[in-house]
Amino acid sequence: MGGALCAAAVVVLCLLVVRTAGGDHLREFSGGEKWGDNLITAPFLILMVAAAPLFLAEYHRRGLWFTRERGFFQGGSNVVVLRPARLRFRAFWLLISVLAWAALIAGPVYYDITTDVFADADSSLWTLLVTHGLFASGMTVLLLFSLLKRMTYERLAARFGGGIVYGSADQRAWRFLSYQFRFELWFAFGCGALLGAIPLVYQLAAESCYTNECVPVPDAGQLAWLIWGAAGCAAFALIGCLSAWRSGESLYSGESVS
């Protein structure tokens, strides 16, 4: 079911992109008068719905799932212990994420700057492309930091884990931030989304060019905000990945926050 929903999301996104690239407004779609510009979120919402059966199926396929009675603020009422996923699957999804970003942002921006292929496109086209393209670039960097975490976690835990004081403020904080919330991966996603937006700065600069000989000069301030923002997110993600072992928990397990 999850796979079918993912395929449906891709089909819906392609349909919306093709129609809006041709100049159609989202309100011209079936139900568009009711949903209007909210149709932009349709592919993303379908993916979010697909995530539930996909994650549950993966948890049951690769791990053990059990529940226990806990107070609401204690956490851990649901716990899953997983077998490590093979690296080739991670590489596959990394490739998919990169290709998705290239297809949704890098490629369209290049053709928008160098050709008139999007001259008649509706403005909602770029909202569609950017929204889903930044999600793809965020997932790309998230997967890279996740790989870094996997490669270093057990080595660091074996070397320094003997100094963990269970129940201490430090251990409980890292358990909450990294083990339950995976905060480092949220920052990794933010880093990827910011980096994925860099081509858009060049696209904005190209709007002031009116001849083929004109070379777009990106706004230095906009580039700086994106690069420094991405660097800050990357720093927090790196600290989190290299310190996650302080939670005292297994890398291949997780629990709910309630």
Q: Look at 68-72, 196-200, 203-207 and tell me which has the smallest mean pLDDT.
A: 68-72
Q: Tokens 């948890």 belong to which residue?
A: 59
Instruction: Quickly state the pLDDT bin for 211 (edges 50, 70, 90).
Output: low
Signed CA dihedral, 226, 232, 236, 241: sign only: positive
Instruction: Quickly state the pLDDT bin for 216 (edges 50, 70, 90).
Output: confident
Mean per-residue pLDDT for 68-75? 59
Most trustworthy range by pLDDT among 29-33, 67-71, 109-113, 224-228? 224-228
DSSP state of 213: T
On average, the pLDDT of the chain sits at 85
182 contacts 145 by C-beta, under 8 angstroms: no
Q: Residue 72: is its pLDDT beyond 60?
A: no
How many domains does one find in the chain? 1
Nearest to 258 by CA among 70, 56, 67, 52: 70
DSSP 16-69: HHHHHHTT--GGGSTTHHHHGGGGGGHHHHHHHHHHHHHHHHHHHHHEEEEE--
pLDDT score recorded for residue 8: 86
User: What is the tens place of the pLDDT at every residue in 138-186?
Assistant: 999 999 999 999 999 999 999 998 889 998 999 999 988 998 889 999 9
What Rg, from alpha-carbon coordinates, does the chain have?
22
> Is this prediction's pTM over 0.85?
yes
pLDDT score recorded for residue 36: 60
* Residue 87 CB coordination number (10 Å): 11
Q: Which domain holds residue 114?
A: 2-255
User: What is residue 173's three-state secondary structure?
Assistant: helix
